[in-house]
Chain A
Amino acid sequence: MKLIRKKIQSLLLLALFVGQFPTLLAQDLPRQYLYVSKQTGQTSNFHGQQGKTTDKYEEGNVTINVVGPITHAVTPNDMSIGHNQTKTWQGQISPLIAQCPAPGSSVSAKLNAAYDVVFSRPQGGAADGAVILSTYNCSTEADGVNHEHSGCQFHGSLGGMHEIVRKIGTVVQDFEIFSINCIVPVAFNCADGTATLHADIYPGNEGTVIWQTPFGQLTGNDIQINLPPNFNNINVTATYTVRGVSYSANGVIRPDNLTGFALPCCANQPKNVRDIAMLTFDGPCHPPVVFAPAIVSPPTTGIVGPTNIINVTASANTVNLGSTITTVNENIELSVTPFAVDFSKIGNLLKDAAEVVSHTPGSPCSPSFSVTGGLTLTTSKKCCLGPCLIKDAQKIAGSVGVSAGVSCRFPIYGIPYVASLDALLEASIGVTGTLSHQTTCDAPKVCAELGATISFGLGIGASIAGGMITADLKGVVEGASASVNYCFIPAPITGEWKANLGKIKVVGTVTTLEVFNYTVEYTLFDGYEFGPFPL
């Protein structure tokens, strides 16, 4: 505050210092704020004093006028000064409250200071619009006569050129005058017995708010106070003060009535009722609410069933409301039964795949199939929120291993020296999985991908004509993969099986009756995609 006052004080006398601080004229003066209270008639102002002693070259005159609802006063009123003279002024700027706007708004004003000053400065000063009246060497003074102890502080004992200049201009200071205001809302916000003391203040850029309450004086806006149980109306006063200018307003903290109390339909773990209660009031000030019981917990395993219905009351001031919640112990298993899955289709599809490899459906194949392990289906209760519902949850757990094999004989026609040769295709698939999958509130399905490995082997051998025609061949399978997916829940069980087979080549040697030996390598096919097939 002192700093601001000092600035304004300097401003009033600025014109007189132009010669000493010529660069100041180029600066934009920051806008300054003044405050009035239409309620109390208080105003803020700027005031101060400043002295000036001129040298033999300096002289000047300043004329001040104002625009807007402000007034100024300078003592002495004469703002001129001559050569070698000392003067001191006192000045003040104040708002004219009667001309200021209503509380909660502001108005602009400005002070114009027109100056006309003459002073001496070293030659070559800034091109600031000053008029050079004359020049002189500071070793001979301006009168042209050599004096003892000639020279000047700027140039030293050897002296140098100075100029006498005249400068005319205006300095403007802008003001914003705020008509301050303080409004206390009709109803305070209270949450769970804690009221927030808030006042709408204007302009709010500075100043403080002080509250007078039955619980003492509190400073600040958005102050929180704890309200006592069963409280009634509480009177409070807020006073907004900025630079000694104040505006006050009264208010009442009125408790509103509890009109509604609801709880989620269920909880699967201990819950503080306060954290899950859904409350409604007939206004924004919510008094403290007491819940009984304060905590709801799921039933203990082995004591009762998986669910427990609990009645809860909510009390606020004189209002008592009730609600219920069902707590669920999701770990209590209602039933555990073996879960049967028909994996035999995996074996059938493997046989299909083998038949495709051999291109001969119905080829004599010897399938083998086995299943190890087992799955269980466990049912329990589950608390689902959004939409709120207690659902039956199902869990599939256990491990399963399916092993299927197939051995097929089929004709190979691609040998020149025999009508056809028997090839032996041996294919196997292994499917394994360890499951622990449960339905969830959002996903009432249990689906899982089981690990699957598939392999194909192709043997082709023949010894004909007492060993004179030999075909020592085999099939080379370049890569095979399979995937098996099941959705166990909901019924019926569905699944999908697919496999990829890489290139199959026939390689080896063939010897004819007349000992013509061939090194053989040919491709049966580059690959094949089986499925997907439903399981």
Chain B
Amino acid sequence: MLNHRIVSTLTKYIIAVLLPLAVVAQAKVPPYEFKPVEIKFSAGFTGLMNDPTHKSGSELVYKYNGQIFDKTDGQIPTKEDGFDGTSKRSTPWETLGELIHAYREKNFDKILSLYTVTTQDQLITLLAGEKKEKFLNHVSKITKAKILAGFEYKEGILVIYESKELGISSCYMIKKKKKYVLSSFNDDGPEAWNLSLYFKFKPEPITVPLIQTTVDSFGSTETKRIDFKLNKANNFVTVCGDKLGQAVLYNIKDNSEYDLNPEPGIVGIDFNKSKSAMPKEYTLYIAETNYPLTMVSEPILKVAKGFTFKVYKK
């Protein structure tokens, strides 16, 4: 009893001394504040699954009870912030914080403990042998993670987060005994996939790049390099015809290995590389996006600018 008192007093002392320091060093887990949210974006970019239920015109519109973090919010506290990897797991964010901490610590048992018993069995099977080591080596690369959004989805919570090292990821949580635990989830619908894509690209309005090269005409056996100056570096340049549903001719990401102009913000494309263009007049359309496009759609043609050149027989 005495010992207990001494320990208790000591603890109070330590807390009293160290508390101000801890408040400064350890960031808070983001608040869990679900409310009705709406996400609306163009349905025209590559990778989106067909979702007629949520399609409105040329846009997809999703409405949930959830939480979307802006650019500065949603940071998951790290051990550098003073987070020790433990929480009450009373919000999805606390559970996710423990998961990221465990990733960094390569603590496989801790990782397993954050999942439902059923999923734990799946993970043990999936990561048998050397796969476990590979997996831990991979996930431990994470230094920081940020929650992008969470939604009430089916019987649980869909959480989408990202890290600089591993990109976008999504996980599913269910509440058990007032605690949120991770669970495997088989999703055969388009919603979660499309939302993840939305958060991957965060699509901005379509714009038109500037054609830097004068293109009036060139010979049918000549290759013509055309440079497009982007409004924003790292965007995609799309060159296409005007037939809806047809494949676009080019969709080149700035600074990718297929961008023939190494200067950032300028995409270079070789036209008539096979030197076998049919001599005639061509009209093509150009657009700039921050997401990939593979198919000609109405939103592109609405904004895209046409440019005409003639290929003469040579």
Q: A residues near B, CB below 8 A?
A: 345, 348-349, 351-352, 355-357, 359-363, 410-419, 464-468, 501, 504, 506, 510, 512-529, 531-535
Contact = CB atoms under 8 A, between A and B. Distances in A.
Interface in B162-192: 166-172, 182-188, 192
Contacts of B131: 466-467
A493 to B, nearest CB: 14
Nearest to B251: A359
Given A415-B47, A416-B168, A467-B127, A524 B276 contact: no
Given A413-B46, A417-B169, A514 B245 contact: no
A453 to B, nearest CB: 20
Given A361-B269, A411-B256, A418-B167, A527 B47 contact: no
Contacts of B256: 411
A465 B134 contact: yes
Secondary structure call for the A interface = mixed
Contact of B270 (A351, A361, A415, A520): A361
A416 B138 contact: no
B274 interface: yes
A348 B276 contact: yes
Contacts of A416: 47, 168, 170, 193, 196-197, 199-200
A513 B250 contact: no
A527 B247 contact: yes
Contacts of A529: 246
A468 B135 contact: yes
Interface in B205-260: 220, 245-253, 256, 258, 260
A345 B220 CA distance: 14
Contact of B126 (A412, A468, A501, A506): A468
24 contacts: A349-B274, A359-B247, A359-B249, A359-B252, A360-B258, A411-B256, A412-B47, A414-B46, A416-B200, A417-B168, A465-B139, A465-B166, A466-B127, A466-B134, A467-B127, A468-B138, A513-B166, A517-B184, A517-B186, A518-B192, A519-B188, A524-B294, A525-B245, A533-B277
Contact of A352 (B133, B169, B274, B294): B274
Contacts of B248: 359, 525
Interface in B38-54: 45-50
Nearest to B292: A413
Given A349-B274, A467-B134, A526-B246, A362 B260 contact: yes
Contact of A528 (B46, B169, B246): B246
B96 to A, nearest CB: 9
A417 B196 contact: yes
B172 A516 contact: yes
Contacts of A516: 170-172, 184-185, 187, 192
Contact of B50 (A352, A468, A515, A522): A522
Interface string B117-144: 0010011001100111111111100000
A361 B130 CA distance: 39
B264 to A, nearest CB: 17
B46 to A, nearest CB: 4
Contact of B187 (A412, A518, A522): A518
B127 A348 contact: no
Given A417-B196, A468-B135, A512 B169 contact: yes
Contact of B119 (A362, A418, A504, A515): A515
A525 B294 CA distance: 6
B286 interface: no
Contact of B278 (A417, A519, A532): A532
Contacts of B200: 416
A293 B108 CA distance: 110
Contacts of B166: 465, 513
A348 B274 contact: yes
A465 B138 contact: yes
A414 B47 contact: yes
B295 interface: yes
A407 to B, nearest CB: 17
Interface in B77-95: none
Nearest to A531: B278
A471 B278 CA distance: 39
A30 to B, nearest CB: 79
Given A416-B200, A466-B131, 14 more contacts: A352-B276, A359-B251, A359-B294, A361-B252, A361-B270, A414-B294, A417-B168, A419-B167, A465-B135, A465-B139, A514-B169, A525-B246, A533-B277, A535-B276
Contacts of B47: 412-416, 506, 522
B249 A464 contact: no
Contacts of B188: 518-519
Q: 9 shortest A-B CB distances, which residue pairs?
A: A414-B47, A466-B134, A526-B245, A514-B171, A416-B196, A515-B184, A466-B135, A525-B295, A525-B247
